[in-house]
Structure 1
Amino acid sequence: MLLLLAFVLFVAAIAATGAAFAKEPPSGLARALEALERSGQAGHELAEQADQPFADRILAPFQARALALGRRLTGADKADRIRRRLDFAGNPRGWTIDRVLSMKVLCAVVLPVVVVAYGLLLGGSFTVLLVVAVAAALLGFVGPDLYLYNKAAHRADQMRRTLADAVDLLTISVEAGLGFDAAVQQVARNTTGPIAEEFSRVLREMQLGMSRSEALKAMGARSNVEDLNTFVGSMVQADAFGIPIAQVLRVQSSEIRVKRRQYAEEKAQQVPVKIMVPLIFFILPCLFVVVMGPAVLNALDAFNGK
């Protein structure tokens, strides 16, 4: 046993000595070769980084940091609200929840810098620049929300104006003997605008296995147009109770046309009220200057004895 233990210790000592000699620092030539190899790898990495586009090298990391900051600043339910606004706006191409959050932070940072730089060129005071910078930061932070709100309002107005024609085409197609799916396909093919996009999406969802009621409810949830939600509710009830779809479509078409006429009359009655603001602040002052200006100048000349 003692001889075996001594032999094991001897072998371990030889292995440790070999490892120590193997880990000795390299000679001068070896160190130079390793340095050249490392410099070549570093140059290759720098070349690969330089070949990347500017958006991937600079903008992408900055946008990632802005996204992280935006998630911290917004509440936990902000993502659901942004998703709902994107649905109301028609899900613009390239716009996602992460992009909206990052754009809010980027606009809140970039817009004050631009405004302050322009104010410095004009020679503004520190107090004015501070107030303008704060206002620009707030405006930049809510800017993407305002864009989505404007986009949603414009889309809702288009849907109100084209919904009656789409329902008429749907009614004619069903009364001609087509099924509801084929009638929806005719509407999506022969109309344009947000209504055509929504009916096309309903058709794709039904083809993917979603039931008709679920697809129509999803279309109503993606829009804030009251007439469309009423139409969706009627179609879902008709599907649930087995009511003939052609009769429901005929009634809905008549009601939607009446509501569209009432909506147009309401907008026409709002015109005199809305035109008062530009009339008072922009048109009447110019008119007073043109009409009263010569009389005021003549009166001043008369008082001065000229």
Structure 2
Amino acid sequence: MTDLITLIAILSILLLGISLSAWYRYIGQKNEVKAKLQETNYGGKEEKQKKQRVFHKIFTKVLVFADDFSEIGERFNFFSETDDVAKWLIQANHPFGLTVKRFHGLKIVLTLIGFFSGIIAFLIGFPFRQFLIVLLPFVGFFGPIIWIKNKAKKRQDELSYALPDFLDMVSVTLKAGASLDQAFREISRYFEGPIQEEFSRFNHRANLGIPREELYLELINRTDVPEFQTVIKSLIRGAELGVPVATTFEIQSAEIRKLRKEKAKELAAKASPKVTMVTTFVVMPTAFILIGGLLLLNIVYDILDSGILGSFN
């Protein structure tokens, strides 16, 4: 009986963790949509920037201690090899000025914060304190890894999303008689996010006299979007062969939109089996465990109340 209760408790904690994770993702997406609506309708951009500044100040103070633990973090590089971290930071555009060494130090700092937080929770008598004293250090260590990977992926998705519109505007500008440098310089001003950051960096380094071929290769290495890499490679070939790229941009923009529609249909088709899998392997077993546990408890209590066990004694 004790083993059954322990099993039910462990499964309940596991399902609670899954539920909290799904709830966290839902809240994040909900807040993101609300923030975009506020920026569009009510001019909430300043409020968002104010919150970001407060978070940036707090995070910057934590990063001060990260430099002291960078060497220790480089030794404990589980799931965070130096080459992988460097790639993630480049694709995420080095948020908060993070370097590879500072990122490794951040893992150790947050691990220590999680450990001491678990001790405090244990001393206070917080619920599930036995689990928190082990769980929080793990969250502190692996949390930055998951965060930087998600941030890099999100930035690459934003770059892929804005690419067709950017190509259309560049194509129109080139057909109007502007040079490629002028088109990149003028069009990038009307965009926000990764595509504006990448081409602003491209224009700045081009003004410093860096060869264009080297800048194109940097753009390819800084991104993980196949469509974007294809566009840059076409620019390299166009520069070598002297082919006009205005028409090429227009064709590639249409192809990218077509691929995006096909990908959306593919994701929609994959959603139904995932829902069925969650229902089959998460919801149904939990329901059976709860119902079976209640029935078993009722049987045990009925036996105890009826005094059958006492008659054997």
Residue 92 (structure 1) aligned with residue 95 (structure 2): yes
Taking the aligned partners of 1:158 and 1:63, their CA distance within structure 2 comes to 29
1:114 aligned partner: 117
Q: Secondary structure at the match of 1:275?
A: helix
Output one character per residue of 1:45-76: Cα deviation in whole Å (capped at 9) or x when no partner: xxxxxxxxxx9xx978854431232233349x
Other-structure match for 1:169 = 169
1:179-218 aligned within 5 A: 179-218=179-218
Structure 2 counterpart SS, 1:215: helix
CA RMSD between the two structures: 3.8
Give 5+ residue unaligned stretches, structure 1.
1-54, 297-306
**Per the alignment, do residues 63 and 287 of structure 1 end up closer, same or farther by CA in structure 2, a change over 3 Å counting?**
closer
In structure 1, C-alpha distance between the alignment counterparts of 2:169 and 2:97, rounded to whole Å: 32
The separation in 1 between residues aligned to 2:247 and 2:196, in whole angstroms, is 22
Letter in 2 for 1:167: L
On the 8 A contact 2:67/2:102 being kept in 1, the answer is no
Q: Report the Cα distance in structure 2 between the residues aligned to 1:60 and 1:240, rounded to whole angstroms.
A: 45
Q: Distance in 2 between matches of 1:287 and 1:124?
A: 24
> What's the TM-score once normalised by structure 2's chain length?
0.64
**Distance in 2, Cα, partners of 1:60 & 1:154:** 23
CA change 1:91–1:287 in 2 (3 A) is same
Tell me how far apart the structure 2 counterparts of residues 110 and 181 of structure 1 sit (CA, whole Å): 48
1:1-306 alignment runs, 5 A limit: 62-74=65-77, 78-122=81-125, 129=130, 133-276=133-276, 279=279
Query: How much has 1:269 moved relative to structure 2?
Result: 2.2
Residues 257, 64 of structure 1: alpha-carbon distance in 2 compared, 3 angstrom cutoff: closer
Deviation (angstroms), 1:168: 0.7
Q: In structure 1, what is the Cα distance between the partners aligned to 2:233 and 2:142? A: 34
| Contact 1:104–1:144 (Cα < 8 Å) also in 2 | yes
Q: CA deviation at 1:232?
A: 1.1
Structure 1 window deviating more from structure 2 (102-111 vs 132-141): it is: 132-141
Q: Deviations over 1:220-264 (max 9, x none)?
A: 211111111111111111111211222322222222222222222
Deviates more, 1:160-169 or 1:134-143: 134-143
State the distance in 1 between where 2:112 and 2:122 align.
Answer: 16
**SS of residue in 2 equivalent to 1:93:** helix
Q: Distance in 2 between matches of 1:193 and 1:137?
A: 33
Seq. identity, %: 27
Q: Is the 8 A contact 1:160 1:260 kept in 2?
A: no
Shift of 1:285: 9.4
Q: Aligned partner of 2:111: which letter? A: A
- AA at the equivalent of 2:237: Q
Cα 1:105/1:286, change in 2 over 3 Å: closer
Distance 1:65 1:189, change over 3 A: closer
In 1, the alpha carbon distance for the partners of 2:62 and 2:213 equals 44
SS of equivalent to 2:97 = coil
When residues 68 and 166 of structure 1 are mapped into structure 2, their CA distance, relative to the original with a 3 A threshold, is same
Deviations 1:277-306 (A, max 9, x none): 665688779999xxx9xxx9xxxxxxxxxx
Distance 1:244 1:226 in 2: 22
Please, which moves more after superposition, 268-277 or 244-253?
A: 268-277
1:238 and 1:245 in contact (8 A); partners too: yes
Change (3 A) 1:225 1:61: closer
CA shift, 1:274, in A, is: 3.8
Using the TM superposition, give the Cα deviation of residue 90 of structure 1 relative to its aligned residue in structure 2, in angstroms: 2.1
Aligned positions, number? 237
Structure 1 residue 140: deviation in Å? 2.0
Q: Give how far 1:186 is off.
A: 2.2
Give the distance between the partners of 1:59 and 1:189, measured in 2 at CA: 33
In structure 2, stretches of 5+ residues that fail to align are 1-57, 296-313
Q: Distance in 2 between matches of 1:138 and 1:176?
A: 56
**Aligned-partner SS, 1:261:** helix
Distance 1:272 1:224 in 2: 28
Q: Which amino acid aligns with 2:72?
A: L
Instruction: Tell me the TM-score normalised to structure 1 length.
Output: 0.65
